[in-house]
Structure 1
Amino acid sequence: MNFLAKTLGTLTGISIPYTFGSVIQPSHIDSASSSSLWTIHHGTSDKDSRPVTIFEFDVKHPANSRYFSLVQNAIKKHRALALLPGVLSIVEVIETDKTIYLITEHAIPLSQLLSNYPKRMKLLGIYQLSVALKYINIEGSCIHGNPRLENIYVTDSYEWKLSGFEFTINYKDNSSDYLSLYSFYTSLTSARGMIVPPEFENSGSEIFQGVGKGVKGIKFDSYIYGLTLYQILTGKAASVSADVSRAVNLEGLPISKLAAPSIGLRVTSEQFLNNGDISYFANDEINAYAQFGKISLLNSTQKLEVYKALITGNVPSGFLEVKVLPDIMNTFNTIKSNDNNIQTTLIYLLFLAYSNLAEDSKAFDQFFKPVYFSSFTIADRAVRTIILKILPKVIDKISKYEVQDKIYPNLVTGFADIDITVRTETLLSISYIMDKITDRQLNNDLLRYLAKLQADSNPQLRANTVICLTHISSKMQSSTRTGVLITAFGKALRDPDHVTRLCAVKGFEISIDFFPPEICCSKVLSALSPALLDDSSIIRQHAENAFELYMKKIRDAASKLQKTEDDDHILVDVDNLNNLMNNLSLENLGQGLISSISDLDTSSQSQSNINNSLNLQNGLTSKDNLVDDSFDLDDNEDGWGFDDEDTNSDFVSKSNNFGSVGKPKETFKSFSASKSKTSFTTTSKSIEANKNLVLGKKKTVTKLNLTVEPTADDNDDGWGGGW
């Protein structure tokens, strides 16, 4: 309890369990323009923090002493009528010898809010007041006596309700209380510029024993109520009775019949209400509001119609938040099936109602979220479709924890649904939740689902899968992103659907920043290149653009590389290799043999050399001497025809002196070991000059394995790294 509440308790001699807030409306003591006997405060209950309105009457103030009986009558009659529709609810009454406190539900005078109401919405409020006055007059058997704008209040549910029962009398009561009560009527009404009924102006309170005796007295309320409606609809109080009399059909309401000068021609509140049910009050939101009062008696289908009319009609958002949304949530929780799409409709109506509420409204957390989260557990395709369509509109107000724990685990089950609509909506929703799910959910679970969707039978879904993968690529782990994207986009380029292939090309183009230049060379270009010869000219054009982007990235990276010390050796090696290949040509080889034979010595001692030479010539024509026994010409295992297994043998063939052509970095042997052992010479440029030629620096020879064995993890349909 704050300091003000304690101070009031000390001054009044009683401690009340309410915290006083600001003054809503001063009393006639504090403001000359006020006709209220009460000082009205905003308040809060100390028991449950519920907001209330506190009416305070200072008993001891000299200006109030004459009105004490009016306050006592107001409390008495208010208590008796509080349960009627349209009457401001009482929370508690606290009376002391110094102060009287009337605690009601929280409400604000309509006069302070009226300018904010659109005309269409005012009609619902007028209907609510008409119902209240009718119940007071007929069911309550009372004449309110002062149903003016000052005594109309707007609750937190934006319902218009009546209070101010200071002059209320029971027309069935034979007591003469009205004589003392209405003796103050003029000082609080006409003396302050308010118009009173003509009969009272002529006869005073005696009318309740004359023309207004019994039930006829309720026409006293009709006249004042007509003046009030005129003020509500025009925004200004009537200055003379003629103003109201000329208001024959103001906004469709027969106000002139309510405020007719003749009591005989004047309609009652009941007649006004009944006539309105078939004319000026006959619209969807008013009919729904009337039905809402007995909502518990309606079946599910009837309730649905009431909810629809209220949410789509001209109903204040406060009424939807305080009254309608809680009832929709309760109805949803009691329904076990989606017969006639009732669950689907309730979810959508909750969303519509939330959309019309203020930004600071708590209704989203209190009513919408519980229903929305539980809807993901419902095995109904219509329900799943509607909540996924709503997701983009509400995701900003849902926390990461709620997405990870209450939405994602149930949402991904839609990927396995046999209905294409559910699978598609599930896939489209990923773009909205990807920022709020965990790394594990995205990089493990979600990618596996997308990998399966890429093999879906529906081409549109396959294309959307590529688009989705492109969208979430920035959130993927860098360690797996490269392999997943290249594999997925590469597979999509082989898709028979041209839209999917185009999406893959665009995916490569958008994802270029994720691939380092080395990967662009070794993997991306080879994966993208088939699109350059695609059947579609559009895809080819996009592929060329993407290819050029990657080539530019590669050229930019290459331009930044420094010159190495091996570059000079490479140029020399290329020249030497060209010379060697020229010397090994068939023409030079043939000329060398002829020249060698022509210089043979024919002496007997040279005959042995001739025979050896002939044997060598024969060896040159022998396949057994040129090719190793293990060399198979038909063996194309490594793609080049080389025996990769003979890497540990001597680089000189066992059956001849030729160097192995498969080992280009080893010394190329000359055709003649030395002049003393052979008779071969070269004609123009000796092969001997090329002896011990090495390409580049002399390095250790390593085995070059040209055969690529498939690994256990190589899966063409996966997305790399086991995806």
Structure 2
Amino acid sequence: MNFLANALGSLTGSSIPYNIGDRIVTGVGSDYSSNSIWNVYLGTKKENNMACTIFEFELTNPSTSKYVQLARNALKKQRSMKLPSVLNTLDTFETDSVIYIVTERVQPLETVLANNEPLSQQAFIFGIYQITTALKFINLEGGSLHGNVSSSSIYITESGEWRLGGFELATNIKTDDFGIFNMAYQLPSFNSSLAPPEFINQGASVLPTLGRHAVKLDSFKLGVLIYELFNEGKSVTDISQTTNMTKIPRNMGAHVKKLLNQSVNVRYSAEQFLKTGETSFFETPLIKCYKELSEISFRADDEKLSFLDTLEGIENDCPPGFVESKLLPELIKQFGLENTASDGTSQSALLYHILKFSPSLKTEAYSRLVKPVIIKSFTLADRAVRMMLLTSLPRYVESFTNYEVSDKIFNHLITGFNDTSPAIREETVKAILPIADKLTDRQLNNDLLRHLAKSQNDEKPEIRTNTVICLGKIAGLLNHNSRPGVLVTAFTKSLKDPFVPARISAVMSLASCIDYFSPEVCCSRVLSAVAPALLDQSSKVRMEAQAAFDSYVNKIREAAADLPEDKPDTIESQSQEQQHIQDNMGAFTLGWGALSKISDKIGGKIVDPPDSTRDSTPDLLKPATSETGIQQLPKVSNLKIDDDFEEEDNGWGFDIDEEEQKPATKPAPKTALRPSKPLQTTRSVPAKRIPKAPGLQLKPTNKLKLDLEIDEDGWNDGW
């Protein structure tokens, strides 16, 4: 049982310290059309869950028995090849039944090209540069012939870098014979790419005779690979198909022809092709970034800034994964190490590029890499960094949750309102718009409004103007109970701002916030605030004020049109009440005759009364009681007016001269009229002072000597 368990464990990979995951390549043991002798799986290390790729070869599978020598040669050579752009081997295992080669996490190039969007031309050049570099080190420093360069032997890492694998035919030129190449035509990946003419004509026996030119077998296959990549992966089966170089970059085409030269003596080696390309077609921003990225830690500040300048425009050329796994991690590392004791220029430039490249990241990668950098940056006391955060905020704020903004960013951001730099204060006001909907109710309606109220008094008119604009745009988020008062107060204040754009912004903000005001508020507060702007010194303000005023008036009219009309019975009831009041007030009016004489005296005219009551006055000697129980004052039809009435300008029974001598703050003297009989009233009525009419005077001598007692305290009781 133990033996069976160990055997099964070996077959399933449970005996190695790695977890075998999904299969991404099926070898010829299970698929005869495959170009690989390996089953390739995604895996993880059991100890730390590190991502990796596992190559598996089944030694006991009859379908793969003829490839055993090739698989073991790959195991031996790949384990010893620790060279740039060569597939990095982490572990190797061999049992009686299976061979495992564990490498860094990669995907086959063929799979990437088939399942993803087409790579850019610059991305292809970047990959070709890396494969050429790998061949140069294998041929020169390694002293070996790879022999199996094709799209089937190339893999792409998570960072978008190209890696050369497929070492089944690898041979050391100095110590090994070339016997393994006798099996070359059995290898599917070798057959998938056109071989050089000398090998086709003479086979493996030609290689020992070529001496140092033997490595040009690799350069010929490199030329075939380049041609196929730029021609949409179309396989080359004959050298005559490579004459058309129109799809290859112009500065590279002539050199690719030299790689495909049929004469081995004239043909470019990988070293020659690389050396030529470094001053020509390999001199691209992406390749330059790749070469200098690992050395940026050792550069001076001016060199770092020069390097960062080369990053402009490469975001569209980067291969998949390059930004996330290669570029950003290095930039973030440098941002954390950067010394900002001088002016912080390098750090702000690093932050700029971190924010620039981050939108292409997936959510998980963004949260892991970029969010901690942004949150930390808000705590730094560096104006260049803060300015970069504020101006770039719309790019990244949507990637943050409401909690992250309100709890980790807002409290640091609002310190910018108090900064001594006007530029920081202005950008802080502008930064409110993207984050307003992510703030808590207290932060929005309390903390933020206090700072905006302060900004409205800023010495810089641009800041005052932007404050009004900001408030108008976030008005919909404010508490609906306090919103009308806040908006009217703020906009009214800005309407008095000496800066014309601030006044224009206030009027336009009022117009845009019309839906937040009830018709009652529009009538009582808004119109009175807008009206003075109709006569503003600026024609632009007047124009916008007129438009806003008309909008509010139309809203008020629409609201008034929805109010109910008075019902007929209501109108009748109100008319009766009005008539009743008029009847009760009749006792306090003068007769038509007296009023006519007074009117003639002052040059006016009174229209005749509608009925027979003309020239009649109330009888003061005869008390009368109204229907309501209030006793009416007697008519004064028998009251004789002195002939001098018509000759004087004013006369209401008051001594005008005496009144004018008394201080204005003291009450005027009472005029007592004594009737021949005491007037009995059931309710005291306060005396009403009649205003003086200029030019009219009544002499104090009355021919009717009446003594009328008036209860002055009775007004309060009567009303």
Shorter chain as denominator, the TM-score bin is 0.7 to 0.9
Q: What are the equivalent positions in structure 2 for 1:185-334 lying under 5 Å apart?
A: 185-188=184-187, 192=191, 194-211=193-210, 213=211, 215-234=212-231, 235-244=233-242, 250-251=248-249, 252-253=252-253, 254-310=255-311, 312-313=313-314, 314-334=317-337
How many angstroms apart in 1 are the aligned matches of 2:580 and 2:501? 52
- Deviation track 1:112-164 (CA, whole Å, cap 9, x = no partner) reads 23362222321111001101111111111211121122101111111111001
- Within 2, Cα distance between the matches of 1:567 and 1:521? 28
Q: Distance in 2 between matches of 1:56 and 1:377?
A: 50
Q: CA deviation at 1:27?
A: 1.6
Unaligned runs of 5+ in 1: 600-616, 636-642, 644-651, 659-664, 672-677, 702-723
**Structural RMSD (CA):** 4.0
2:189 and 2:426 map into 1 onto residues whose CA distance is 71
Q: Which residue of 2 aligns with 1:552?
A: 557
Report the Cα distance in structure 2 between the residues aligned to 1:539 and 1:192, rounded to whole angstroms: 78
Q: Corresponding residue for 1:621?
A: 655
Q: Structure 2: how far apart are the matches of 1:534 and 1:575?
A: 50
Q: Tell which deviates more after alignment, 393-402 or 522-531.
A: 522-531
Amino acid at match of 1:451: A
Using the TM superposition, give the Cα deviation of residue 100 of structure 1 relative to its aligned residue in structure 2, in angstroms: 1.0
Contact 1:520 1:554 in 2 (8 A): no
**Correspondence for 2:34:** 34
Distance 1:191 1:152, change over 3 A: closer
Please report how far the alpha carbon of residue 310 of structure 1 lies from its aligned counterpart in structure 2 after TM superposition.
4.2
* Alignment partner of 2:354 out of 350, 353, 368: 350
Residues 537-560 of structure 1 deviation map (CA, whole Å, 9 limit, x = unaligned): 414523531441353256246547
* Local SS of the residue matching 1:242: helix
Partner residue in 2 for 1:662: none
Q: Is 2:584 the counterpart of 1:580?
A: no
State the alpha-carbon separation in 2 of the partners of residues 188 and 52 from structure 1.
Answer: 25
Matched-pair contact (CA < 8 Å) for 2:27–2:39: yes
Contact 2:193–2:224 under 8 Å retained in 1: no
Q: Deviations over 1:186-235 (max 9, x none)?
A: 22269946532333334433334322x3x332122122222222222222
Structure 1 position 393 matched with structure 2 position 392: no
Which residue, 362, 365, 368 being the options, matches 1:363? Answer: 365
Which region of structure 1 is more displaced relative to structure 2, 572-581 or 252-261? Answer: 572-581
What residue in structure 2 maps to residue 465 of structure 1?
467
CA gap 1:567/1:136 in 2 versus in 1, 3 angstroms = farther
TM score, norm. by length of structure 2: 0.78
User: Corresponding residue for 1:86?
Assistant: 85
Tell me which residue corresponds to 2:168.
166
Separation (CA, whole Å) in 2 of partners of 1:171 and 1:513 = 84
Partner of 1:444: 446
Distance in structure 2 (CA, Å) of the matches to 1:205 and 1:275: 30
Hey, what's the Cα distance between the residues in 2 that align with 1:195 and 1:322? 34
> In 2, Cα distance between the equivalents of 1:634 and 1:6?
118
Whole-Å separation in 2 of the counterparts to 1:430 and 1:26? 55
Alpha-carbon distance between aligned partners in 1 of 2:593 and 2:469, rounded to the nearest angstrom: 57
Q: CA separation of 1:297/1:172 partners in 2, compared to 1, >3 Å: closer, same or farther?
A: farther
Find the residue that maps to 2:370 and give its secondary structure: helix
Alpha carbons 2:150, 2:190 under 8 Å: kept: no
Shift of 1:377: 2.5
Question: Relative to structure 2, which stretch is displaced further, 42-51 or 366-375?
Answer: 42-51
- On the 8 A contact 2:197/2:262 being kept in 1, the answer is yes
Query: How far has the Cα of 1:502 moved from its partner?
Result: 3.0
Equivalent position amino acid for 1:551 in 2: I
Seen in structure 2, the aligned counterparts of structure 1 residues 623 and 188 have a Cα distance that, compared at 3 Å, is same
The answer (yes or no) to whether the contact 2:673–2:705 under 8 Å persists in 1 is no
Query: Which stretches of structure 1, 4 residues or longer, exceed 6 Å deviation after superposition?
Result: 564-567, 588-594, 626-629, 652-655
Judge conservation of contact 2:20–2:41 (CA < 8 Å) in 1: yes
1:171-190 → structure 2 map (5 Å cutoff): 171-173=173-175, 175-176=176-177, 178-179=178-179, 181-188=180-187
Moved more, 127-136 or 301-310: 301-310
What's the CA shift string for 1:8-54, capped at 9, x where partnerless? 62646853343433332222222333242211123333333333222
Q: Which runs of 5+ in 2 are unaligned?
A: 599-616, 621-635, 643-650, 675-682, 690-701
- 52-61 or 31-40, larger mean C-alpha shift: 31-40
Contact residue 530 and residue 549 of structure 2 kept, 8 A: no
Report the counterpart of residue 489 of structure 1 in structure 2.
491
Q: What's 1:130 paired with?
A: 132
Q: Structure 1's 575 and 280: CA in aligned 2 closer, same or farther, altered over 3 A?
A: farther
> For the structure 1 residues 578 and 334, does the alpha-carbon distance in structure 2 shift closer, same or farther, using more than 3 Å as the test?
farther
In the TM superposition, 1:52-91 aligns within 5 A as 52-81=52-81, 83-91=82-90
Whole-Å separation in 1 of the counterparts to 2:138 and 2:21: 31
Q: Measure, in 1, the Cα distance between the counterparts of 2:204 and 2:376.
A: 62
**Distance in 2 separating the partners of 1:244 and 1:145:** 20
What is the Cα deviation at residue 248 of structure 1? 10
> Separation in 2 of the partners of 1:582 and 1:6?
128
1:434 corresponds in structure 2 to 436
User: What residue identity is the alignment partner of 1:291?
Assistant: E
Q: What's the offset of the Cα at 1:594?
A: 11
Secondary structure at 1:93 match in 2: strand
Q: For 1:142 and 1:596, locate their aligned partners in 2 and report how far apart those are by CA, in whole Å.
A: 142
* Bigger Cα displacement from structure 2, 262-271 vs 477-486: 477-486
Per-residue deviation, 1:482? 2.8
Is 1:542 matched up with 2:547?
yes
* Cα distance in 2 for residues equivalent to 1:248 and 1:446: 61
2:338 to 332, 335, 339: 335
Question: How do 1:514-529 and structure 2 match up within 5 A?
Answer: 514-529=516-531
- CA separation in 2, counterparts of 1:353 and 1:79? 36
2:581 is matched by which residue type in structure 1? Answer: D
Partner-residue secondary structure (3-state), 2:87: coil
Residue identity in the other structure for 1:333 = G
Moved more, 386-395 or 71-80: 386-395
CA spacing shift, 1:96–1:623, aligned 2, 3 Å: farther
**Cα 1:400–1:247 shift into 2, 3 Å:** closer
Aligned AA for 2:74? A
Residue 535 of structure 1 aligns to a residue in which SS?
coil
CA drift of 1:668 comes to: 5.5
| Larger displacement relative to structure 2 (394-403 or 360-369) | 360-369
Report the CA distance between 1:572 and its aligned residue.
Answer: 3.9
Q: How far has the Cα of 1:167 moved from its partner? A: 1.0
Compute the displacement of 1:399 (Å): 0.9
Structure 2: distance between partners of 1:29 and 1:141: 32
Alpha-carbon contact 1:244-1:255 (below 8 Å) kept: no
C-alpha distance in 2 between matches for 1:329 and 1:517: 55
